[in-house]
Structure 1
Amino acid sequence: MQISKGGWVHRLLVDSKDKQTILQRDLELYKVALENAYEGIVISDANGTILTVSQTYASFLKTSISDMLGKHVTEVIPNTRLHIVAKTGKAEIADLQQIHGHWMIASRIPIRSEGELIAVVGKIMFQDIDKLFVMNSKYREIKDHLHYAEGKEYESPGVKYSFNHIIGESESIEKLKLLAYKVAKSSSTVVLSGESGTGKELFAHAIHRESGRRLGPFVPVNCAAIPEALFESELFGYKEGSFTGAKRTGKKGKFALAHKGTIFLDEVSEIPLTQQVKLLRVLQEKELEPVGGDRPEAIDVRVIAATNRDLRKLMLEGKFRQDLYYRLNVVAIMIPPLRERQNDIPVILNDLLRQLREETGIQADGIEAEAEKLLIAYSWPGNVREMRNVLERALYVMDGTWIGKADLPAELWEDSSKHNRRDNSLKEQLESFEEQLIREKLVHTNGDKQETARQLGISRSSLYQKLEKYEGIINKPV
């Protein structure tokens, strides 16, 4: 059939070609947009199989697009929930997700066609949760500038740390971070306990930062540093002329300064018994009465307390009020010492070394293997605080750009020697027991090595290796 130019068939073909060109152009535009999406996007089908992914997302996971396509999301995306959203059909917006030890914020949105779920889009909103905190800080600065230009008597210094600053990959520390994150969303009182230097203050900052009070003040108080005579006025404030030497204008206490925010009572176990009842009243009634005041004032403050002592033991000994103990101990978070999470030590060492390089300006390429072995084996009675001091000293005494064994203090060497002696003693005892057991089995089987190996539950070749190790064992008398 001859197609005439300008005829209806010709026009139809031209129109179809134009539509195909537009579709091809739109497809190319879509691909370019996806590949260059800053946020990072991944799309799976209803079964959780990855259909397409942006380069940003693949780079964030430290992999390539080709290694992700066609695989189930659980194979390549840590802690993913895309497949769960595919099953529930419910969107998850601005949800916290941990990838490679870092917290990021992601959204997961189900896609439907004619009522049927056909795909799920995952989108990284913030690759690092600290970026969200930076944005919040900027928002707060703008808000303060616009609405509180008159100035305030107390200017909150804000918080320094987030959950990303709590370094560790052990199961124990990850569980604690998850618990603290959940607790942060409430206004419940929290008691952080643990040895000195374990990171109680970091947890307090992170909890406030993740809470609904994050735009309010964070007021740290070292209870051990306040003289008993000044405790009441420091925490609850005083009115004009309350006592000799009082300011004419009076003074706000720490609780008043923390209004609509969080007060962090560090070393809460050191509060004198005579003052504990006054703190209890503030916690129970949610109001305080400044020294010299004639009426109570309402207060809205969340309390996070910390201690390196056993509060329950102090309570049983009559050194801490029982009613205050139960009022404070709503949610208890016990932070383990470094010696109980040795797997975290290499990660913490690297992070501390990075911080110290930036602070001191000293070039340090790393820690030599033997030195790292000593650092991991050490018991760290002062925990992370002590570790930081040891590394900082090593930076100044090291010869070159690597921290070696000789750069570490004597107590690490001594602790290592004791540890090795204990290990050697245990090793010798185990070998002695093993040798005695093999001898007895050989006698019992009349020297039948195959039967001896069977009764010992080991292979014949393993038995021969042990016989060689304990040379002359067959000839030894039982």
Structure 2
Amino acid sequence: MSQAFNKVPLSWHEQMINLLSERVVIVDDTGTILYINEGYCQFIGTTMEEAIGRPVQDVIENTRMHIVTKTGQEERASVQKINGSEMIANRFPIFQDGKIVGAVGNVMFRNPEEWLMYKTKIQNLVDELNYYQAKVHKDLRSKYSFEDLIGSSSKFLTAKTWAKRVSGSNSTVLLMGESGTGKELFAHAIHHESTRSATPFVAINCSSIPEHLFESELFGYEDGAFTGAKKGGKKGQIELASGGTLFLDEIGDMPLSMQSKLLRVLQEKEIVRVGGHKSIPINVRIITATHRDLEKMVEKGGFRQDLFYRLNVIKIDIPSLRERKEDIPSIAKQLLKKLEARFYRNGIELSAEVIERLLQHSWPGNIRELENILERSINMLDGKTIKLLHLPLYLRDCETEEIDGGNPIDSPVFQSVSKPIPVQPLKETLAQIEKQAIQQALARTNGNKLEAAKLLEIGKTSFYDKCKLFEIN
């Protein structure tokens, strides 16, 4: 190390000292000043010419530099009175061949005000860091408990009881149910009730991640793994969830190429970041959810059989809203409270006619559809009671719909977008029916294309392509 330092030109030494510290003094083993820089001289009101060669105690008030050369003990952040104030200084002995040959000292803060200024800056940074850490911690916590799962129907209570019972386990859970039935709420509640409740809960919607980004999103990446990669790399969602719960929503939409990699995570309990070589051990509980029939997907080759068996350890079927219509009034009441806070309203109620109409509807969009309807109604509301006239047109006319969940093609919404189809080539006929089905799905979801794609059970990309083809905005 010393040989390497000898290669540094002597003319650089003083400049380096001044750059690294504003106020520096160096003494020999007798306490005589060998060097003092300009910054220190200005601080104590002297010059380098006057100070160098004199005993340090004659130049610097209340100094202990000459004492450090005798004791050989360093003194860090020592308070020293000087110029009528108190400064904070460091003092270090210098050794050569095991003997003390001198000492070096520097002033960290010239007065309490300077220290306070630095302390304030540091404290602000610490406070900001704590704020963002708390925010991240909050974002990675479960937001719902079993108390938030409202309903008293037998099918719903069975699902809720079963979910509560398995919360304490570390086994994987597969939540089955139509889109909008509350599968994510169940996942939050299971984590909240588990022994991992104080650890991260990370939720990923597999249908919303482009296939080419899936691996880096799930496993993270190392610095320079690909063009545009964040400097220093990035942790993946699985790594962020380590110690807690990873919720993979719409697992049926996970690309086949990623299914094999997820299977390896479940088997080996470790991941490798994109562009990396080091295995990172992880401890995570997996909860998955889907509205698809995974067993049929396995038969058709759309889902790995070995992964299906790994995920299907504990299967919980969540009933659709049309299977638990007796729960609609209590669910609507809870949703209204949630919406009241968002719209700064209170005391909103449903009229008896509205409740009756809600009970007649077949609810293809389930609880999500119910929430959309209530939100729309509040936007149309002048008073505090939601009446039939505040409901969407397709609900106001739903008396022609079969009460027990008739064919969607017979619904008023479909009739409103359908036209008589003339005899024409089969290809054109099918295209027209396909277009009408998309229009009906969009009407059901109030224009939400992602939800409409889920209702039709087609991929998001395919849905957008068909909308473009049929010129549906």
Match in the other structure for 1:386:
369
Matched, 1:254 2:237: yes
Match of 2:287 among 300, 304, 314: 304
Decide whether aligned partners of structure 1 residues 294 and 259 sit closer, same or farther in structure 2, where only a CA change above 3 A counts. Answer: same
Q: Separation in 2 of the partners of 1:359 and 1:246? A: 38
- How far residue 227 of structure 1 moved from its aligned partner, in angstroms, is 1.5
Decide whether aligned partners of structure 1 residues 239 and 373 sit closer, same or farther in structure 2, where only a CA change above 3 A counts. Answer: same
Q: Separation in 1 of the partners of 2:202 and 2:133? A: 18
Match in the other structure for 1:269:
252
Residues 362 and 404, structure 2, Cα contact 8 Å, conserved in 1: no
Larger Rg: 2
Match of 1:322 among 283, 305, 310: 305
Match of 1:215 among 198, 203, 222: 198
1:360-384 Cα shifts (integer Å, max 9, x gaps): 1234441111111001111111111
Decide whether aligned partners of structure 1 residues 352 and 314 sit closer, same or farther in structure 2, where only a CA change above 3 A counts. Answer: same
Match of 2:380 among 377, 397, 400: 397
Query: What one-letter code is carried by the residue in structure 1 that aligns with 2:292?
Result: R
Q: Separation in 2 of the partners of 1:381 and 1:411? A: 13
Query: What one-letter code is carried by the residue in structure 2 that aligns with 1:173?
Result: F
* Aligned counterparts, 1:353-432, within 5 A: 353-419=336-402
* Aligned counterparts, 1:48-197, within 5 A: 155=137, 157=139, 158-197=141-180
Residues 362 and 403, structure 2, Cα contact 8 Å, conserved in 1: no
Match in the other structure for 1:293:
276
Query: What one-letter code is carried by the residue in structure 2 that aligns with 1:194?
Result: G
- How far residue 156 of structure 1 moved from its aligned partner, in angstroms, is 5.1
Q: Equivalent residue of 1:333, what SS? A: strand
Residues 240 and 246, structure 1, Cα contact 8 Å, conserved in 2: yes
* Aligned counterparts, 1:30-49, within 5 A: none
Q: Separation in 1 of the partners of 2:174 and 2:333? A: 29
Residues 156 and 218, structure 1, Cα contact 8 Å, conserved in 2: no
Query: What one-letter code is carried by the residue in structure 2 that aligns with 1:319?
Result: G
Residues 236 and 290, structure 1, Cα contact 8 Å, conserved in 2: yes
Q: Equivalent residue of 2:327, what SS? A: helix
Match in the other structure for 1:30:
none
Residues 156 and 219, structure 1, Cα contact 8 Å, conserved in 2: no
Match in the other structure for 2:467:
none
Query: Cα RMSD over matched residues?
Result: 2.4
Q: Separation in 2 of the partners of 1:154 and 1:422? A: 43
Q: Equivalent residue of 2:234, what SS? A: coil
Residues 364 and 395, structure 1, Cα contact 8 Å, conserved in 2: no
* Structure 1: 5+ residue stretches without partners: 1-144, 424-478
Query: What one-letter code is carried by the residue in structure 1 that aligns with 2:146?
Result: F
1:178-223 Cα shifts (integer Å, max 9, x gaps): 1101111000100111111100010000000000111110011111
Q: Which moved more, 1:395-404 or 1:246-255?
A: 395-404
Q: TM-score, normalised by structure 2?
A: 0.56
Decide whether aligned partners of structure 1 residues 379 and 422 sit closer, same or farther in structure 2, where only a CA change above 3 A counts. Answer: closer
Q: Separation in 2 of the partners of 1:296 and 1:200? A: 32
Q: TM-score, normalised by structure 1?
A: 0.55
Q: Separation in 2 of the partners of 1:322 and 1:261? A: 26
1:293-346 Cα shifts (integer Å, max 9, x gaps): 223111100001111111111111100011111111111111111101111111
Q: Equivalent residue of 1:297, what SS? A: strand
Residues 336 and 348, structure 2, Cα contact 8 Å, conserved in 1: no
Residues 197 and 244, structure 2, Cα contact 8 Å, conserved in 1: yes
Residues 233 and 290, structure 1, Cα contact 8 Å, conserved in 2: yes
* Structure 2: 5+ residue stretches without partners: 1-126, 407-473
Query: What one-letter code is carried by the residue in structure 2 that aligns with 1:330?
Result: V
Match in the other structure for 1:106:
none
1:215-252 Cα shifts (integer Å, max 9, x gaps): 11001111112121111111111112222222220111
- How far residue 404 of structure 1 moved from its aligned partner, in angstroms, is 1.0
Q: When the two structures are aligned, how many residues end up with a matched partner?
A: 277
Identity percentage over the alignment? Answer: 50
Match of 1:245 among 228, 231, 234: 228
Decide whether aligned partners of structure 1 residues 154 and 278 sit closer, same or farther in structure 2, where only a CA change above 3 A counts. Answer: farther
Q: Separation in 1 of the partners of 2:138 and 2:301? A: 36
Q: Separation in 1 of the partners of 2:184 and 2:292? A: 15
Query: What one-letter code is carried by the residue in structure 2 that aligns with 1:155?
Result: H
1:54-102 Cα shifts (integer Å, max 9, x gaps): xxxxxxxxxxxxxxxxxxxxxxxxxxxxxxxxxxxxxxxxxxxxxxxxx
Q: Equivalent residue of 2:286, what SS? A: strand
Residues 196 and 244, structure 2, Cα contact 8 Å, conserved in 1: yes
Question: Where does structure 1 differ by over 6 angstroms across 4 or more consecutive aligned residues?
Answer: 420-423
Q: Equivalent residue of 1:278, what SS? A: helix
